[in-house]
Amino acid sequence: MKNNIIKILIVTGEPAGIGLDLCIQLAQKKFEAEITILSNRNAILDRAKLHNKKIKILSEPALHLGNGGLNIINVNYTKKVLPGILEKLNSLDQLQAIDFAVKECIEKNYDALVTLPINKKILSSNTKKFTGHTEYISTLCGTKDKEVMLLVDNKKLRVALVTTHIPLLEVAQSITKKKLEQTIRTLDKDLKNNFKIKNPRITITGLNPHAGEEGEFGSEEKRIITPIIKKLIKEGLNLIGPIPADTAFTKKYIKDTDSFLAMYHDQGLAPFKALAFNNGVNTTLGLPIIRTSVDHGTALDLVGSKKINSSSFFESISLAIKLAKNKKK
């Protein structure tokens, strides 16, 4: 029976942010999985005091019962964690925690990884290795530039991205036939294998206003996007597009779409967060491991308060468990 239990590893992210607060809430939430948290025990206990909660540190991994217990692998922070106050040395310690977590998942000691938000600015200013959470994990997995970010809502809405954390000025030149085809193939494959959707219908947006309107507002649709869509449709993929992004995320398309594919970050995430902010989950496709994450930031201003919404975090854990179970089938 023990071998059938799903094992989830959680990295708590920026220690000054709400990652630790969310773990305090997790202690009271039951999940059908064995959950291990990669963090500093003293920082967790200190954060619990801010919320007037008592946390029991478990002596060994166990099914997460939601009775106030947490199984923690200790992370040593260089400086004492001060709620809501960034400390760059502690932030850099988080990179080592991510390194460890990814290695553990690659070696199949855990079935899935759930990551809580980090502070991109403080990490990127101190190490050239860091360009973004998703990109960093992809590099550790040996799949650099092959990862696909997919946002998932529990009401079926899914949005994937062709490009992620790059300036808007660089988007058009980054969308090549090779990149687009690779992204569509990865999305189609993982929707089939991980989400168990037999023939996923993927709705693809254009890059330009009105999807280029036959070249009037840009040529990327005619030169790159449409030819790749036609090529893959001939191979049997269930694709629609390119369609104008300003009308893509409407009831008409959402109802018949298993996943949207947007060309750049805000084109996909703005409508997704407007429709599903509190329940949204970020999962990374194209990796050898299962990785999910919340769809919000560190929220330093909310640390220690009663205003913290745990919905996205709990949905991230639920999706990780679901994908891990699907993988075992």
Q: If you write DSSP's letter for every residue of 87-138 in order, what string do you get? A: -HHHHHHHHHHHHHHHHHHHTTSSSEEEE----HHHHHTT-TT-S-HHHHHH
β-pairing, 34-39 vs 7-11, is: parallel
Domains of the chain by residue range: 1-145+287-329, 148-279
CA distance 97 to 95: 5
* DSSP annotation of 63: B
Q: Strand 291-294 vs strand 281-285: parallel, antiparallel, or unpaired? A: antiparallel
Looking at the domain covering 148-279, what would its CATH class be?
Answer: alpha beta
pLDDT tens for 253-267 read 999 999 999 999 999
The structural architecture, per CATH, of the domain 1-145+287-329 is 3-Layer(aba) Sandwich (3.40)
SS3 309: coil
Question: What percent of the chain is modeled with pLDDT above 70?
Answer: 96
Give the per-residue pLDDT at 126: 66
Residue 288 has pLDDT above 90, yes or no: yes
Query: Residue 17: what pLDDT?
Result: 93
Residue 150 sits at φ, ψ, to 5 deg, of -125, 125
Please check the confidence at residue 129 and state whether its pLDDT lies above 70: no
Amino acid at 87: E
Task: Round to whole Å and give the CA distance between 14 and 90.
Answer: 8
Q: How many CA atoms lie within 13 A of 325 on its CB side?
A: 9
pTM score: 0.90
Structure tokens at 85: 């106050």
Largest CA distance in the chain: 65
Residue 328: pLDDT band (50, 70, 90) is confident
CB of 74 closer than 8 Å to CB of 83: no
121, two tokens:
């600015």
Residue 95 scores a pLDDT above 90 = no
Q: How would you classify residue 237: left for phi > 0, otherwise alpha for psi between -120 and 50, otherwise beta?
A: beta
Residue 1, pLDDT > 50, answer no
Q: What is the SS3 assignment for 80?
A: coil
pLDDT in tens, 21-77: 999 999 999 999 999 999 999 999 999 999 999 999 998 888 999 999 999 999 999
Residue 14 near residue 76, CB atoms below 8 Å: no
Per 3-state DSSP, the chain is made up of helix, strand and coil in percentages (nearest 5) of 40, 15, 40
Q: Phi/psi zone of residue 55: left (φ > 0), alpha (ψ -120 to 50 degrees), beta?
A: beta
Mean pLDDT of 87-100: 87
CA dihedral 310, 311, 315, 318 (to 10 degrees): 60
